[in-house]
C-alpha cells in the first residue's frame, strides 16, 4: 500500500490555472468517487480551496501514476503536470499536517484551512471513500492543527488590514461587537473587506455611504444594511460605532470640526475611525478628540507586519510538534519504511476530530 499526495497550490500555480481545476465543496464527494474509480485507489480525500487542490490517496499499486490521476479532475486538455508536486509516505503526512495547521498557507497560521480540511475529510468519510488508513491520518492532522493553535502563538494576531480593523475594534469594545454599528464611507475593495470582517464578527448593523447611491444600495443589501447618501453621512455617523473610510477623494473629506460635531450629538460615546484611503480621508488632528480612535493604513500595516513577525517566531515550535506526530504515525502505519506504507494495523474507525476555533 502506498500513501501519497499530489496537488498544486498558490506556490506552484497562478490563479488562472487553479481556477480551472477548482472543485466546489458540494462536488467533493462526486469528484472523490470519480478519482477512486479512475485512479483505482483504495482510499481518497480531495481538498479544494482558492489556494490549493490536492488529492490524498492510498493505492495498492506501487507504480500508480499520481500525475495521471490528477488529470481526472479536469475535462480540459490543460496539462497540469508542470504545476504539480508529489509526496508519499511520511513526507505526505508531514505536508498534510502543515496544510491543516496553516503553516503552508499564504497567510502563515491562518485557521480557515483547518475547517476546509475537516470538511473535505468528512465529505470523503460520509461517501465511504476513506478507510482505516486515511481516517487515522486525517484525524491526527486535525488534532495536530488544534494543538498548533492552542500550544503556539502562530495563529494569533491579525495579518490583513481587514482583520486588524476587527482586532482593534474588539480591543476598544471589549471584544463584543454584537451591538455595534459599522459605517463605510466609499465602497472601495479594502473598505468592503474591513466591513466584511467586522460583519463576520457579529456587528449589529451596517451603513454604507458612497458617491454613487446605487453602489451604496448594492453593497448595503449584501450585508443586510442601509444605504446613506454621501451628503447625509455626518448625520448617519451619529449612529455608528466604527467608521471605515475608503474614498478616492484627492482631499480630506472629514475634518476635526465635523467629527467634534458628531461626538457632541452622540454624547461622546467611543468612535473608531479607520481611514484606509490614500490620500487620507480624515484629518490627522481628529485623533486629539476625546473618545475618538483614529487609525490610518500605515497604522494597520505596522500591526500586520508585527503580527507576522511574531507568527514566524513560532514556526520552530510548530514544526517540532508536527515532527513528533509524523514520527508517531509513521511508526504505526508505515512500519520500518515510512516512505513506503506497510500493512495498516487493525483499529476501529474513529469519529472525525472536532476542530476548535
Q: For 154-211, how does the pLDDT look when each residue is reduced to its tens digit (9 = 90+)?
A: 887 767 777 777 778 888 888 788 889 999 999 777 778 877 887 878 888 899 999 9
What torsion, rounded to 10 degrees, do the Cα atoms 114, 115, 118, 123 define? Answer: -150
Same domain assignment for residues 166 and 300 = yes
How would you label 14-39 residue by residue, b for 16+ Cβ within 10 Å and e otherwise? eeebbeebbbeeeebbebbbebbeeb
DSSP state of 346: P
Rg (CA), the chain: 25
Same domain assignment for residues 17 and 82 = yes
Average pLDDT over residues 122-143: 97
Q: Is residue 355 one of the residues assigned to a domain?
A: no
pLDDT of residue 82: 95
pLDDT of residue 352: 30
Per-residue pLDDT band for 353 (boundaries 50, 70, 90) equals very low
CA distances from residue 302 to 73, 122, 189, 279 in whole angstroms, order as listed: 42, 39, 20, 18
pLDDT of residue 160: 73
For cell 488632528, name the residue: 285
Average pLDDT over residues 227-239: 96
pLDDT of residue 357: 33
Average pLDDT over the chain reads 87
Same domain assignment for residues 23 and 141 = yes
Same domain assignment for residues 292 and 320 = no
Is the separation of the CB atoms in 207 and 226 below 8 Å? yes
Per-residue pLDDT band for 350 (boundaries 50, 70, 90) equals very low
Q: Is residue 125 one of the residues assigned to a domain?
A: yes
Find the range with the poorest average confidence among 12-21, 192-201, 344-353: 344-353
Q: Is residue 261 one of the residues assigned to a domain?
A: yes
Same domain assignment for residues 109 and 169 = no
Looking at the 3D structure of the chain, how many domains does it have? Answer: 2
Same domain assignment for residues 194 and 110 = no
Give SS3 for 4. strand
Average pLDDT over residues 137-163: 88
Per-residue pLDDT band for 340 (boundaries 50, 70, 90) equals very low
For cell 468592503, name the residue: 192
Judge whether residue 86 has pLDDT over 60: yes
Q: What is the pLDDT of residues 296-319, one digit of tens each?
A: 988 888 888 888 888 889 999 999
Q: What is the pLDDT of residues 248-302, one digit of tens each?
A: 888 899 999 999 999 999 999 999 999 988 789 999 999 999 999 999 988 888 8
Judge whether residue 348 has pLDDT over 50: no
**Which one of 30, 50, 78, 318 is the catalytic residue?**
50
Q: Is residue 225 one of the residues assigned to a domain?
A: yes
Assess whether 30 carries a catalytic annotation: no
pLDDT of residue 291: 96
State the residue range of the domain holding 280.
161-306
CATH number at residue 293: 3.40.50.720
Average pLDDT over residues 65-94: 92
Q: Is residue 65 one of the residues assigned to a domain?
A: yes
Give the rounded percent of residues in the chain with a pLDDT score beyond 70: 94
Q: Is residue 354 one of the residues assigned to a domain?
A: no
Same domain assignment for residues 25 and 168 = no
Q: Can you tell me the distance from the alpha carbon of 271 to that of 237, in angstroms, rounded to the nearest whole number?
A: 9
pLDDT of residue 196: 81
Give SS3 for 122. helix
Q: Is residue 226 one of the residues assigned to a domain?
A: yes
Per-residue pLDDT band for 356 (boundaries 50, 70, 90) equals very low
Phi, psi values for residue 180, rounded to 5°? -100, 150
Amino acid at each position: 500500500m502506498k500513501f501519497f499526495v499530489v496537488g498544486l497550490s498558490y506556490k506552484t500555480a497562478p490563479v488562472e490555472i487553479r481556477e480551472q481545476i477548482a472543485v466546489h465543496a458540494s462536488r467533493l464527494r462526486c469528484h472523490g468517487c470519480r478519482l477512486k474509480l479512475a485512479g483505482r485507489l483504495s482510499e481518497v480525500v480531495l481538498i479544494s480551496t482558492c489556494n490549493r487542490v490536492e488529492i490524498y490517496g492510498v493505492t495498492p499499486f506501487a507504480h500508480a501514476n499520481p500525475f495521471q490521476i490528477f488529470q481526472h479532475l479536469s475535462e480540459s486538455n490543460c496539462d497540469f503536470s508542470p504545476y504539480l508536486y508529489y509526496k508519499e509516505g511520511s513526507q505526505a503526512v508531514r505536508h498534510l499536517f502543515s496544510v491543516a495547521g496553516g503553516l503552508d498557507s499564504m497567510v502563515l497560521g491562518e485557521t480557515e484551512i483547518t475547517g476546509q480540511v475537516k470538511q473535505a475529510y468528512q465529505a470523503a468519510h460520509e461517501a465511504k471513500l476513506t478507510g482505516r488508513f486515511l481516517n487515522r491520518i486525517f484525524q491526527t492532522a486535525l488534532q495536530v492543527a488544534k494543538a498548533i493553535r492552542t500550544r503556539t502563538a502562530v495563529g494569533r494576531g491579525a495579518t490583513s488590514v481587514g482583520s486588524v480593523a476587527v482586532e482593534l475594534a474588539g480591543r476598544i469594545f471589549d471584544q463584543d461587537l454584537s451591538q455595534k454599528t459599522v459605517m463605510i464611507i466609499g465602497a472601495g475593495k479594502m473598505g468592503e473587506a474591513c466591513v466584511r470582517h467586522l460583519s463576520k464578527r457579529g456587528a449589529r448593523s451596517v451603513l454604507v455611504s458612497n458617491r454613487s447611491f446605487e453602489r451604496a444600495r448594492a453593497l448595503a443589501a449584501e450585508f443586510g444594511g442601509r444605504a446613506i447618501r454621501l451628503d447625509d453621512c455626518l448625520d448617519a455617523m451619529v449612529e455608528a460605532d466604527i467608521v471605515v473610510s475608503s474614498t478616492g477623494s484627492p482631499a480630506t473629506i472629514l475634518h476635526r470640526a465635523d467629527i467634534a460635531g458628531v461626538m457632541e450629538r452622540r454624547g461622546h460615546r467611543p468612535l473608531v475611525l479607520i481611514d484606509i484611503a490614500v490620500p487620507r480621508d480624515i484629518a490627522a488632528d481628529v485623533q486629539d478628540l476625546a473618545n475618538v480612535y483614529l487609525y490610518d493604513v500605515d497604522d494597520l500595516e505596522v500591526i500586520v507586519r508585527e503580527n507576522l513577525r511574531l507568527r514566524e517566531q513560532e514556526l520552530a515550535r510548530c514544526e517540532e510538534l508536527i515532527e513528533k506526530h509524523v514520527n508517531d504515525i509513521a511508526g504505526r502505519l508505515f512500519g520500518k519504511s515510512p516512505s513506503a506504507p506497510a500493512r495498516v494495523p487493525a483499529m476501529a474507525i474513529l469519529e472525525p476530530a472536532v476542530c476548535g476555533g
